[in-house]
Chains A and B, each alone.
Chain A
Amino acid sequence: MSGALRAAWWLRGTRWGCVGAGRRLSCAAAGEAKDSGSGGDGGGGSSGSREAVERLVRAHPVVVFMKGSPAQPLCGFSNAVVQILRLHGVSDFRAHDVLQDAELRQGIKNYSNWPTIPQVYLNGEFVGGCDILLQMHQNGDLVEELKKLGIRSALLDAEKDQEKK
Chain B
Amino acid sequence: RPLCSQSDGEARVARVLRQSFPRASAIRVVDISGGCGAMYEIHIESEEFREKRTVQQHQMVNQALSEEIKAMHGLRIFTSTPKA
Contact of B75 among A116, A128, A132 (CB under 8 A): A116
- Report if A131 contacts B (CB, 8 A): yes
The smallest beta-carbon distance between B59 and chain A, in angstroms, is 7
Given the contacts A18-B39, A135-B54, A116 and B74 also touching, CB distance less than 8 Å: yes
- Report if B84 contacts A (CB, 8 A): no
Chain B 39-80 interface residues, beta-carbon cutoff 8 Å to A: 39, 54-55, 58-59, 62, 66, 69-78
List chain B residues, Cβ under 8 A from A114.
59, 62
The smallest beta-carbon distance between A128 and chain B, in angstroms, is 5
Are A132 and B58 in touch, CB under 8 angstroms?
Answer: yes
List chain A residues, Cβ under 8 A from B74.
16, 25-28, 77, 116
Chain A 123-162 interface residues, beta-carbon cutoff 8 Å to B: 126-129, 131-132, 135
Alpha-carbon distance A13/B65, docked complex (angstroms): 26
Given the contacts A113-B59, A114-B59, A115-B62, A17 and B34 also touching, CB distance less than 8 Å: yes
Q: Is the interface of B mostly helix, strand, loop or mixed?
A: mixed
| Residue tally, chain A, CB below 8 Å to B | 22
List chain B residues, Cβ under 8 A from A113.
59, 62
Chain A 6-50 interface residues, beta-carbon cutoff 8 Å to B: 16-18, 24-28, 30, 34
- List the A residue with the shortest CB-CB distance to B75: A28
Number of A-B contacts (CB under 8 A): 60
Are A128 and B39 in touch, CB under 8 angstroms?
Answer: no
Are B73 and A28 in touch, CB under 8 angstroms?
Answer: yes
Given the contacts A30-B72, A77-B74, A17 and B32 also touching, CB distance less than 8 Å: yes
Alpha-carbon distance A131/B54, docked complex (angstroms): 10
Listed by A's residue number, 19 A-B pairs whose Cβ atoms lie within 8 Å are A17-B32, A17-B33, A17-B34, A18-B33, A18-B34, A28-B70, A28-B72, A28-B73, A28-B74, A34-B69, A34-B70, A116-B74, A128-B55, A129-B58, A131-B76, A131-B78, A132-B54, A132-B55, A132-B58
Which 10 residue pairs across A and B have the least CB separation, nearest first? A26-B74, A27-B74, A28-B72, A128-B55, A28-B74, A18-B33, A17-B33, A17-B32, A18-B38, A132-B54
- Known contacts A16-B76, A131-B78; 4 additional CB pairs below 8 A are A26-B39, A28-B69, A115-B66, A132-B54
